Structure 1
Amino acid sequence: MKVCLVCSHGGHLSEMLRLMEAFEGHEAFFITYDSIRTRQLQRRYLLHNIGKSPWRMLRAAIATLRILRRERPEVIVSTGSEIAIPAFYIARLFRMKTIFIESWTRVVQPT
Protein backbone atom coordinates (compact mmCIF):
# COMPACT_ATOMS: atom_id res chain seq x y z
CA MET A 1 0.00 0.00 0.00
CA LYS A 2 1.27 3.49 -0.81
CA VAL A 3 1.03 5.84 2.17
CA CYS A 4 1.48 9.62 2.19
CA LEU A 5 2.73 10.99 5.51
CA VAL A 6 1.94 14.68 5.95
CA CYS A 7 3.35 16.66 8.85
CA SER A 8 5.22 19.81 9.68
CA HIS A 9 8.73 19.65 11.06
CA GLY A 10 9.43 19.71 14.80
CA GLY A 11 7.14 17.85 17.18
CA HIS A 12 4.69 16.73 14.50
CA LEU A 13 7.55 15.11 12.59
CA SER A 14 8.86 13.49 15.79
CA GLU A 15 5.46 11.92 16.39
CA MET A 16 5.26 10.68 12.79
CA LEU A 17 8.73 9.16 12.98
CA ARG A 18 7.66 7.22 16.08
CA LEU A 19 4.89 5.70 13.97
CA MET A 20 7.18 4.58 11.12
CA GLU A 21 7.27 0.99 12.36
CA ALA A 22 3.55 0.76 11.54
CA PHE A 23 4.33 1.49 7.89
CA GLU A 24 6.99 -1.19 7.43
CA GLY A 25 6.27 -3.19 4.30
CA HIS A 26 4.38 -0.28 2.77
CA GLU A 27 5.61 2.34 0.32
CA ALA A 28 5.58 5.55 2.36
CA PHE A 29 6.60 9.08 1.43
CA PHE A 30 6.53 12.42 3.26
CA ILE A 31 5.07 15.80 2.42
CA THR A 32 6.62 18.18 4.92
CA TYR A 33 8.37 21.51 5.32
CA ASP A 34 11.92 22.08 4.18
CA SER A 35 14.37 21.98 7.10
CA ILE A 36 17.74 20.46 7.91
CA ARG A 37 16.00 17.57 9.67
CA THR A 38 13.48 16.84 6.90
CA ARG A 39 16.16 16.85 4.21
CA GLN A 40 17.44 13.64 5.81
CA LEU A 41 14.20 11.76 5.10
CA GLN A 42 14.50 9.27 2.25
CA ARG A 43 11.26 9.73 0.29
CA ARG A 44 10.11 13.28 0.72
CA TYR A 45 8.56 16.29 -0.93
CA LEU A 46 9.58 19.51 0.79
CA LEU A 47 7.33 22.57 0.82
CA HIS A 48 7.96 26.11 2.07
CA ASN A 49 6.42 26.92 5.43
CA ILE A 50 2.80 28.03 5.02
CA GLY A 51 2.46 30.07 8.20
CA LYS A 52 -0.67 32.22 8.23
CA SER A 53 -0.46 33.40 4.63
CA PRO A 54 -3.46 32.52 2.42
CA TRP A 55 -1.21 32.81 -0.65
CA ARG A 56 1.28 30.31 0.76
CA MET A 57 -1.62 28.00 1.59
CA LEU A 58 -2.75 28.22 -2.04
CA ARG A 59 0.78 27.51 -3.30
CA ALA A 60 1.04 24.56 -0.92
CA ALA A 61 -2.33 23.25 -2.16
CA ILE A 62 -1.17 23.39 -5.79
CA ALA A 63 2.12 21.66 -4.94
CA THR A 64 0.29 19.04 -2.87
CA LEU A 65 -2.19 18.41 -5.69
CA ARG A 66 0.68 17.75 -8.09
CA ILE A 67 2.37 15.41 -5.62
CA LEU A 68 -0.79 13.43 -4.87
CA ARG A 69 -1.66 13.10 -8.57
CA ARG A 70 1.86 11.83 -9.30
CA GLU A 71 2.11 9.45 -6.34
CA ARG A 72 -1.54 8.33 -6.01
CA PRO A 73 -1.38 7.15 -2.38
CA GLU A 74 -4.09 4.88 -1.03
CA VAL A 75 -4.14 6.67 2.32
CA ILE A 76 -2.91 9.97 3.75
CA VAL A 77 -1.80 10.02 7.39
CA SER A 78 -1.09 13.23 9.29
CA THR A 79 -0.03 14.26 12.77
CA GLY A 80 -0.63 17.91 11.91
CA SER A 81 -0.21 21.04 11.58
CA GLU A 82 -1.51 23.40 8.89
CA ILE A 83 0.36 21.53 6.15
CA ALA A 84 -2.33 18.84 6.46
CA ILE A 85 -5.16 21.22 5.51
CA PRO A 86 -4.59 21.31 1.73
CA ALA A 87 -3.67 17.61 1.68
CA PHE A 88 -6.90 16.58 3.39
CA TYR A 89 -9.08 18.82 1.21
CA ILE A 90 -7.49 17.38 -1.93
CA ALA A 91 -7.83 13.87 -0.55
CA ARG A 92 -11.54 14.50 -0.05
CA LEU A 93 -11.90 15.62 -3.69
CA PHE A 94 -10.20 12.44 -4.92
CA ARG A 95 -11.94 10.21 -2.36
CA MET A 96 -8.67 9.14 -0.76
CA LYS A 97 -8.69 7.69 2.73
CA THR A 98 -7.34 9.97 5.45
CA ILE A 99 -6.17 9.39 9.00
CA PHE A 100 -5.48 12.27 11.37
CA ILE A 101 -3.58 11.41 14.54
CA GLU A 102 -4.15 13.95 17.27
CA SER A 103 -1.11 14.87 19.32
CA TRP A 104 -0.47 12.47 22.16
CA THR A 105 1.39 15.14 24.12
CA ARG A 106 -1.88 16.64 25.33
CA VAL A 107 -3.74 14.07 27.41
CA VAL A 108 -5.59 16.32 29.84
CA GLN A 109 -7.08 18.92 27.49
CA PRO A 110 -7.54 19.35 23.72
CA THR A 111 -4.82 20.93 21.60
Structure 2
Amino acid sequence: MKILAIASAGGHWIQLLRLLSAFEGHDISFMSTKASFASTVNGMSFYAVPDANRWNKLKLIYLAFRVAKVVYTLKPQVIISTGAAPGLMGIIAGKLLGSKTIWVDSIANVEKVSLSGKIALHFADKVYTQWPDLATQKITFAGNVLS
Protein backbone atom coordinates (compact mmCIF):
# COMPACT_ATOMS: atom_id res chain seq x y z
CA MET A 1 0.00 0.00 0.00
CA LYS A 2 1.27 3.47 -0.87
CA ILE A 3 1.09 5.86 2.11
CA LEU A 4 1.91 9.56 2.39
CA ALA A 5 2.57 10.72 5.96
CA ILE A 6 2.53 14.50 6.52
CA ALA A 7 3.39 16.68 9.51
CA SER A 8 4.66 20.15 10.31
CA ALA A 9 7.89 20.57 12.24
CA GLY A 10 8.11 20.12 15.99
CA GLY A 11 5.68 18.01 17.96
CA HIS A 12 3.60 17.14 14.91
CA TRP A 13 6.64 15.49 13.29
CA ILE A 14 7.64 13.67 16.48
CA GLN A 15 4.14 12.26 16.84
CA LEU A 16 4.11 11.15 13.21
CA LEU A 17 7.41 9.30 13.69
CA ARG A 18 5.89 7.49 16.68
CA LEU A 19 3.41 5.93 14.25
CA LEU A 20 6.15 4.46 12.02
CA SER A 21 5.71 0.88 13.20
CA ALA A 22 2.12 0.93 11.87
CA PHE A 23 3.49 1.52 8.36
CA GLU A 24 5.92 -1.41 8.23
CA GLY A 25 5.74 -3.35 5.00
CA HIS A 26 4.18 -0.46 3.09
CA ASP A 27 5.54 2.00 0.53
CA ILE A 28 5.67 5.15 2.65
CA SER A 29 6.65 8.68 1.70
CA PHE A 30 6.97 11.61 4.08
CA MET A 31 6.31 15.32 3.80
CA SER A 32 7.22 18.10 6.23
CA THR A 33 8.23 21.73 6.49
CA LYS A 34 11.91 21.11 7.25
CA ALA A 35 14.13 19.56 4.59
CA SER A 36 16.56 18.40 7.29
CA PHE A 37 13.91 15.94 8.54
CA ALA A 38 14.70 13.74 5.53
CA SER A 39 17.59 12.33 7.57
CA THR A 40 15.15 11.04 10.23
CA VAL A 41 13.46 8.81 7.63
CA ASN A 42 16.57 7.58 5.80
CA GLY A 43 15.88 5.50 2.75
CA MET A 44 12.30 6.68 2.38
CA SER A 45 10.94 9.30 0.01
CA PHE A 46 10.75 12.74 1.56
CA TYR A 47 9.19 15.96 0.28
CA ALA A 48 9.87 19.36 1.84
CA VAL A 49 7.15 21.98 1.58
CA PRO A 50 7.04 25.55 2.86
CA ASP A 51 5.56 26.30 6.26
CA ALA A 52 2.40 28.37 6.34
CA ASN A 53 -0.47 29.24 8.64
CA ARG A 54 -3.81 31.02 8.60
CA TRP A 55 -2.16 34.39 9.22
CA ASN A 56 -0.40 34.40 5.85
CA LYS A 57 -2.99 33.58 3.19
CA LEU A 58 -0.62 33.82 0.21
CA LYS A 59 1.82 31.33 1.74
CA LEU A 60 -1.11 29.09 2.58
CA ILE A 61 -2.27 29.10 -1.04
CA TYR A 62 1.28 28.39 -2.24
CA LEU A 63 1.54 25.53 0.29
CA ALA A 64 -1.76 24.08 -0.94
CA PHE A 65 -0.47 23.97 -4.53
CA ARG A 66 2.85 22.41 -3.52
CA VAL A 67 1.17 19.73 -1.42
CA ALA A 68 -1.44 19.02 -4.10
CA LYS A 69 1.30 18.57 -6.70
CA VAL A 70 3.03 15.92 -4.57
CA VAL A 71 -0.26 14.16 -3.81
CA TYR A 72 -1.21 14.17 -7.50
CA THR A 73 2.22 12.84 -8.51
CA LEU A 74 2.39 10.10 -5.84
CA LYS A 75 -1.27 9.08 -5.92
CA PRO A 76 -1.10 7.53 -2.45
CA GLN A 77 -3.81 5.12 -1.36
CA VAL A 78 -3.68 6.53 2.18
CA ILE A 79 -2.72 9.94 3.57
CA ILE A 80 -2.15 10.34 7.29
CA SER A 81 -1.31 13.52 9.15
CA THR A 82 -0.68 14.64 12.69
CA GLY A 83 -1.03 18.31 11.64
CA ALA A 84 -0.95 21.15 10.94
CA ALA A 85 -1.41 23.17 7.69
CA PRO A 86 0.58 20.88 5.34
CA GLY A 87 -1.29 17.88 6.68
CA LEU A 88 -4.65 19.54 6.27
CA MET A 89 -3.80 20.49 2.70
CA GLY A 90 -2.73 16.88 2.08
CA ILE A 91 -5.97 15.52 3.54
CA ILE A 92 -8.03 17.82 1.30
CA ALA A 93 -6.00 17.07 -1.84
CA GLY A 94 -6.03 13.36 -1.10
CA LYS A 95 -9.76 13.27 -0.56
CA LEU A 96 -10.33 15.03 -3.88
CA LEU A 97 -8.13 12.44 -5.61
CA GLY A 98 -9.70 9.41 -3.93
CA SER A 99 -7.15 8.58 -1.22
CA LYS A 100 -8.26 7.31 2.17
CA THR A 101 -7.43 10.02 4.70
CA ILE A 102 -6.61 9.93 8.41
CA TRP A 103 -6.13 12.90 10.75
CA VAL A 104 -4.54 12.40 14.18
CA ASP A 105 -4.99 15.58 16.21
CA SER A 106 -1.98 16.63 18.26
CA ILE A 107 -1.68 15.54 21.87
CA ALA A 108 -1.08 19.23 22.67
CA ASN A 109 -4.77 19.91 22.01
CA VAL A 110 -5.99 19.03 25.48
CA GLU A 111 -9.12 21.14 25.81
CA LYS A 112 -10.39 21.26 22.23
CA VAL A 113 -9.65 19.90 18.79
CA SER A 114 -7.29 22.09 16.73
CA LEU A 115 -8.63 24.42 14.04
CA SER A 116 -7.02 22.18 11.41
CA GLY A 117 -8.61 19.16 13.09
CA LYS A 118 -12.04 20.79 12.95
CA ILE A 119 -11.60 21.46 9.24
CA ALA A 120 -10.23 17.93 8.70
CA LEU A 121 -13.51 16.57 10.10
CA HIS A 122 -15.16 17.62 6.83
CA PHE A 123 -12.61 15.84 4.62
CA ALA A 124 -10.88 13.01 6.49
CA ASP A 125 -12.25 9.49 6.46
CA LYS A 126 -11.14 9.06 10.05
CA VAL A 127 -10.24 11.65 12.73
CA TYR A 128 -8.53 10.69 15.97
CA THR A 129 -7.99 12.62 19.18
CA GLN A 130 -5.40 11.71 21.78
CA TRP A 131 -7.67 12.71 24.67
CA PRO A 132 -10.72 10.67 25.72
CA ASP A 133 -12.65 13.82 26.74
CA LEU A 134 -12.50 15.11 23.12
CA ALA A 135 -13.98 11.99 21.54
CA THR A 136 -17.34 12.41 19.80
CA GLN A 137 -19.36 10.47 17.24
CA LYS A 138 -17.04 11.80 14.54
CA ILE A 139 -13.77 11.87 16.51
CA THR A 140 -12.26 8.62 17.80
CA PHE A 141 -10.08 8.18 20.86
CA ALA A 142 -7.89 5.06 20.58
CA GLY A 143 -5.05 6.02 22.93
CA ASN A 144 -2.23 8.49 22.43
CA VAL A 145 0.89 8.49 20.33
CA LEU A 146 3.13 9.99 23.01
CA SER A 147 2.95 8.29 26.37
TM-score (ref. length: structure 2): 0.67
- Find the residue that maps to 2:59 and give its secondary structure: helix
Partner of 1:28: 28
Partner of 2:47: 45
Partner of 2:19: 19
Offset at 1:92? Answer: 2.1
Offset at 1:88? Answer: 1.6
C-alpha distance in structure 1 between counterparts of 2:5 and 2:70, whole Å: 12
Offset at 1:46? Answer: 0.2
- Find the residue that maps to 2:98 and give its secondary structure: coil
Q: Give the letter aligned to residue 16 of structure 2.
A: M
Residue by residue over 1:39-64, the C-alpha shift from the partner in whole angstroms, topping out at 9 and shown as x without a partner, is 31332100111133111111111111
Q: Give the letter aligned to residue 24 of structure 1.
A: E
Kindly indicate whether the alpha-carbon contact (under 8 Å) linking 1:33 and 1:46 is maintained by their aligned counterparts in 2: yes
- Report sequence identity in percent: 27
Which consecutive residues of structure 1, in runs of 5 or more, have no partner in the other structure? Answer: none
Q: After TM superposition, where is structure 1 displaced by more than 4 Å over at least 4 residues in a row?
A: none
Q: Could you tell which deviates more after superposition, 22-31 or 91-100? A: 91-100
Q: Higher relative CO (CA 8 A, sep ≥ 6), structure 1 or 2?
A: 1
Offset at 1:72? Answer: 0.8
Q: Could you tell which deviates more after superposition, 19-28 or 82-91? A: 82-91
Offset at 1:75? Answer: 0.6
Determine whether 1:95 maps to 2:94.
no
Change (3 A) 1:50 1:105: closer
Offset at 1:104? Answer: 3.1
* Structure label with greater radius of gyration: 2
